[in-house]
Amino acid sequence: MNVPVKMAPLAEPAAGARVPRWRPAGRAAQLRVLTARQIRLVYADRRVVLFSVAQPVVMLLLISQVFGSLADRSILPRGVSYIEFLLPALLVTTGLGTSQSAGVGLVRDMEGGMVRRFRVLPLSLPLVLVARSIADLTRSGMQLLVLVIGGHLLFGYRAGGGVGGLVAALSLSTVVIWSLIWIFIALAAWLRKVEVLSSIGFFVNFPLMFASSAFVPVDVLPGWLAAVATVNPVSYAVEASRSLALGGQVGSEVPAALCAALGLMAVMMVLAARGFRRPPDE
């Protein structure tokens, strides 16, 4: 029910009159406030959080059983089980699902009113996107931990590279996932429609996920697919994560994966900021 608005206090100097104008918040302070808001949005619905965190474990269970039963041990690196081969790859590919939901979340946020208000506040607009990416990254972090714990409990997974190797693989995957999140933040900032984003998301995600070395070694793929998989940035990341987790010789995979991820992230950040800056009506 609407009641007539009480007017009295506004007529007095207390509420409406000039108060000393605040100095605009610094970028760090803005980012803190914005990130706290985005984290609230990402974790607003416990059910969504629960299912999204459980999702990678389901992937691990299904893919290990479906492909694992087919995979000829001889195509895997010597002495490596399929779980040992697969789990470090899932650390990376899990991020593809997360990144799509980050994009959808951003579109939903842009449809809501607060982002419209952000545009007329003395605010560095791209920080809204950075905040979104950080909030989604925290959820990815939880997914990765649940995946490793689930792998251990279900399949007795242990990283050949020990705890150090596992932590290194997790850290690298986190950086890679951050860059994948930015792909979808850029898409969301330009497309601004959940339906369009979801349908395009399929075309971005599935090739990145399957035309890679994530589930089988590249050399057993058909020639053309192997060629695609070799240039796929997800392959770099998967190779790097795998070699860190397996332990032993770590070659150029890690710097290559980091360079690919950071380069991708830089490009996507610029595109995203540009797309986001566009006024809603153009």
The contact set with other proteins (CB under 8 A) reads: 1-7, 9-11, 13-19, 21-25, 29-30, 33-34, 37, 40-41, 44, 112-114, 116-123, 279-282
> Distance between CA 204 and CA 226 in Å, rounded?
18
Q: Considering beta carbons, is residue 8 or 163 the nearer one to other proteins?
A: 8
Closest separation between CB of residue 104 and other proteins, Å?
Answer: 16
Q: Is 250 left (phi over 0), alpha (psi -120 to 50) or beta?
A: beta
- Residue placing its CB nearer to other proteins in the complex, 162 or 280: 280
Q: How far is the CB of 44 from other proteins (least distance, A)?
A: 6
Residue 87 Cβ vs other proteins, minimum distance, rounded to whole Å: 35
Question: Nearer Cβ to other proteins, position 152 or 277?
Answer: 277
Q: Which of 40, 236, 19 is nearest to 139 (CA)?
A: 40
For other proteins, which is the closer residue by CB, 73 or 277? 277
Least distance from other proteins to the Cβ atom of residue 24, Å: 5
Identify which of residues 112 and 248 has a Cβ nearer to other proteins in the complex.
112
Min separation Cβ 4 and other proteins, Å: 4
Q: How far is the CB of 246 from other proteins (least distance, A)?
A: 43
For the stretch 3-20, what's the b/e string if a residue is b when 16 or more beta carbons lie within 10 angstroms of its beta carbon? eeeeeeeeeeeeeeeeee
First-to-final CA distance of the chain: 37
- Cα gap 280→272, rounded to integer Å: 14
Kindly tell me which of 42 and 211 has the beta carbon lying closer to other proteins: 42
Q: What is the largest CA-CA distance in the chain?
A: 83
Inter-residue contact 54 to 154 (CB < 8 Å): no
In sequence order, the 6+-apart residues with CB closer than 8 A to the CB of 210 are none
Q: Assess contact for 80 and 93: CB atoms under 8 A.
A: no
Contacts of 18 (CB under 8 A, 6+ apart): none
